[in-house]
Amino acid sequence: MSKKRKKNSHNKKMNSSRKKQQSLNWFQKITQKVSFEPVKTFFIELMQKFKQLEVSSIMSKGKSSMLNHKKGIIFALSMTAIIAIGYFTVVNPPTKSEARTSTVSINLEEEQTSFMDDVESEVGNIQNTDKETAVVNLEDTLLETTEVQTEIEEKITTEVAEIEVKPSIDVITAANISGERISLEVLKEKPVYDPIEKSMMIGMDMFAIIVDNKEVAYFQSEEEANDVLETLKSQYLAEGAVEERVIFRESIEVAKVKRDIFDCNGFQTAEEILEYIVKGTNEQRIHTVKPGENFWVIAEDYDLNVQDLIDANPGIDEKRLQIDTELSLIVAEPIINIVTISKVERIDPVPYGRGENVKTDKYYQGEYKTKQAGVPGEAEVVLEVYMENGKLLGEKVLDQTIITQPVEQIVYEGTKPAPPKIGTGTYQNPTSRGYITSNFGSRSLGYHNGIDIGLPSGTDVYAADGGIVTYSGYKGTYGKLVIINHGANKETRYAHNSKLLVSSGEKVHKGQLIAYSGNTGRSTGPHLHFEIRINDNPVNPKKYVNY
């Protein structure tokens, strides 16, 4: 060994306590950011190789390897030190609080020389001991290194726990889920956060509603998730049910999960999540009703089924659609379908039957008149009602008790032979009662083409002669009108009716009931307007009928 090496070795032994303290201080400052795992691994591998070799081989090969690669080792250590210094000064500079701490000066040449002396010293010790002693020395060295590393790691853990995290962006506030906030909406951009911030956002404990093995909503607590499911059930409970069972058509469970808060689709209220479950989407498509539009026109414009559009807008009367009403165009496809089986008690009408007809020659063949009107009875009924998402699927009668019996309907059936359904050339009065309120001819309101017969609305109107109905419907000022062609270019007209009983093209006989009088069209009160035309020219009906 050279004089320089002996001197350095001697100095090392004389100042071992000082150098150990310096080494520890240096390690405490540097290894807050550096792991000793590679060093530990290196010594373990080196010890295993020592156990496999002879002592003499260890002494010769170890010493020669160190001496032959001295320049390489010095270069590697220098580069490692330069990279470490560059990282902690440029890439990850110390904070202001760290800058105020004491500065540690490192003499690279001295540390490199000291390291080489330590290695040579260990090799020299091996020359004076047997194999077993050498292994023990190395194990002691490893143990000491491990203890130092453990002490440093414990200090790092303690200090990191005391650090007050101040994120560069406001993401921690979003993670503080309140009792009314539930995750569902997707964040379009994930914020960038440092490792400590990220550790607070990844792997949060939360509860999920899982539908057929698919997570559909997230909650802070299991109670919040169950409350949403109970609220969903309550929306479809039947009114007045004695007993009720509520069944999820799908497989539903509430489970505890760990999820990245940013992958849980944002936050929504319980009401918003219920809407999402019922509709199957958060999408909003609205149509504002314009003049002349109705459900059928709007459904056709958007290629929707009319009933689906009506169902998507409960509470809006399709028969009284107002301008500027906003209609949802989203056809609901629920994520969770609720089936209810309810036992219900109620009073239902009992349908009446129809008794045997009473035949009479008072009426023509094919004519029927009610002798006794049917009256429904009443029954106390116990039913099992099946519904899905509030829509009736079916009913099953479990028990029925009659409260009042129904009354049968009895009808007269005419037997008198009917006259021929062609014109006879003579006319009968179109009504069995009434009086003339306005005659044929000129009057203050203009020329009158017929006569007006005053009588209450709903009075029977008969065909004045046999023939073929050429018109039956609503016609301008006439209101509800019947026109009958009697042949020989003769026709009669019956206007302002409340209800029409015949159809265009139908053959009628003289005296057949064709309508009920009324007050439709341009009319000042209930009456029948009656006309007779020959060759399409109005003639005075008073020449053919008697009032």
Q: Is 511:484 a contact under the CB 8 Å cutoff?
A: no
Checking if the pLDDT of 298 tops 80, the result is yes
User: What end-to-end distance do the CA atoms of the chain give, in Å?
Assistant: 155
The CATH code of the domain at 420-543 is 2.70.70.10
* Low-confidence winner among 58-72, 104-118, 529-543 (lowest mean pLDDT): 104-118
Query: What would the mean pLDDT of 523-534 be, rounded to a whole number?
Result: 93
Q: What pLDDT is attached to residue 168?
A: 31
* Structural tokens at position 540: 């005075």
Task: Provide the pLDDT confidence category of residue 49 given band limits of 50, 70 and 90.
Answer: low
CA count, 13 A, side-chain hemisphere, 404: 11
Checking if the pLDDT of 66 tops 60, the result is no
Percentage of residues of the chain with pLDDT beyond 70: 61
Pairing of strands 513-517, 490-500: antiparallel
Domain boundaries, the chain: 3-161, 172-279, 286-328, 338-415, 420-543
Q: What is the pLDDT of residue 112?
A: 47
The single-letter DSSP state of residue 474 is E
> What average pLDDT does range 245-273 have in this prediction?
80
Q: Which pLDDT belongs to residue 130?
A: 45
| Residue 288 clears pLDDT 90, i.e. is over it | yes
pLDDT of 194: 38
Task: Please determine, for residue 343, whether its predicted confidence score (pLDDT) is greater than 60.
Answer: yes
CB neighbour list of residue 3: distance below 8 Å, 6 or more residues apart: none
pLDDT tens per residue, range 138-177: 445 445 555 545 555 555 444 444 433 333 333 333 333 3
Provide the CATH number for the domain formed by 338-415 in this structure.
Answer: 2.20.230.10
Q: Residue length, the chain?
A: 547
On whether the CB atoms of residues 338 and 389 are closer than 8 A, the answer is yes
Query: Model confidence over 366-416: pLDDT tens digits?
Result: 788 889 999 999 999 999 999 888 888 888 999 999 999 999 999 999 898
Give tens-digit pLDDT for 468-506.
999 999 999 999 999 999 998 899 999 999 999 999 999
Residues 233-251: what's their mean pLDDT? 82
User: For 72-99, what is each residue's pLDDT tens digit?
Assistant: 666 666 667 766 666 556 545 554 444 4
pLDDT at residue 62, rounded to an integer: 54
What pLDDT, on a 0 to 100 scale, did the predictor assign at position 308? 85
H or E element at residue 301: helix 295-301
Q: pLDDT (tens digit, 9 = 90+) per residue, 426-485?
A: 999 999 999 999 999 887 777 899 999 999 999 999 999 999 999 999 999 999 999 999
Long-range interactions of 81-87: CB distance < 8 A, separation 24+: 81/106, 81/108, 84/30, 84/34, 87/33
Phi (first) and psi of residue 292, to 5 degrees? 85, -5
pLDDT at 507: 93
Reading the block at residue 158, the tokens are: 């303690």
Nearest residue to 523 via CA among 429, 445, 469:
445
Least confident among 174-183, 246-255, 374-383: 174-183
Q: Which two tokens stand for residue 280?
A: 């199957």
Confidence of residue 257 (pLDDT cuts 50, 70, 90): confident
Asked if the domains 286-328 and 338-415 are classified in one and the same CATH topology, the answer is: no
Half-sphere exposure of 468 (CA within 13 A, CB side): 5
Q: Is 424 exposed, middle or buried (0-12, 13-18, 19+ CB in 10 A)?
A: middle
**Per-residue pLDDT at 545:** 94
Q: What CATH topology corresponds to 286-328? A: Membrane-bound Lytic Murein Transglycosylase D; Chain A (3.10.350)
Give the span between the Cα atoms of 370 and 488, in whole angstroms: 36
